[in-house]
Amino acid sequence: MLLKDKVFVVTGGAGLLGKEFCKSITDNGGISVIADYDVPSAEKVKQYINSDNIYIERIDITNEVSIFELINRVNTNFGKIDGLVNCAYPKNKNYGKHFFDISYNDFCENINMNLGGCFLTSQLFAKFFYRQGYGNIINIASIYGIIAPRFEIYKDTIMTMPVEYAAIKSGLIHLTKYMAKYFKGKNIRVNTISLGGLQDGQPTSFLNAYKNFCINKGMLSPQDISGTLIYLLSDLSEYVNGQNIIVDDGFTL
């Protein structure tokens, strides 16, 4: 029980990755707060996990009042918050277009919602952690925050690697380092997990092309990332700070 009785808020906890993170936290003795904008989906995740240590809170990571109220409610209920996992990924309806089809306004809005939302959430939680005397922040980035896109794997599909994604995830990795240094002496750790692609109904041609760059499995499942999360949330990683841990089956090699 590496996380026994510890309380963690997972933004985007109702998503593909977030729900497995919440499950892994409870499997290891912790308390998961599914913090999501989509409460009906969060209710389904709660039923899927089926644990007494799962709670739901609605959050808008771009809204200061929403975040502040969530922190107060969780702290009132449990008397503490041990950590935050920034897993939410808000985007507008035009997200994911090819480079020359993206408008300036859409580019800015997606970065503002996503990277800006992660900043705002981290900022407000860090203020709470300062008062509490400790805290732990985990950001979820990507291999495409580290290397240039391998556009060739998208050949013969309608898919692409969105430029907003590259800007958001690379920015998030450096934001992690910035915060880790800024919080020096405050007993707050900040780390990033940069994951490879998650299998989620992509075309077979894409999956095969992607796997050619990997060592064993190819695209990952959310469960493949959970062990790294538990390590970073637990005391096993007590002196791991400001790091970017890559979990990608060798895709970036």
CA distances to 14, 57, 91, 234, 240 from 189, rounded to whole Å, are: 24, 24, 27, 11, 8
Distance of CA 199 to the CA centre of its chain: 16
CA-based diameter of the chain, in Å? Answer: 53
Q: Which of 89, 165, 178, 231 is catalytic?
A: 165
Q: How many beta carbons lie within 10 A of that of residue 156, not counting itself?
A: 9
Active site (annotated) includes residue 165: yes
* Distance, CA of 216 to CA of 251 (rounded, Å): 10
According to DSSP, the residues that pair with 191 across neighbouring strands are 138
**Cβ–Cβ under 8 Å, residues 141 and 166:** no
Range 100-109 burial, b when 16+ CB lie within 10 A, else e: eebeeebbeb
Catalytic residues: 165
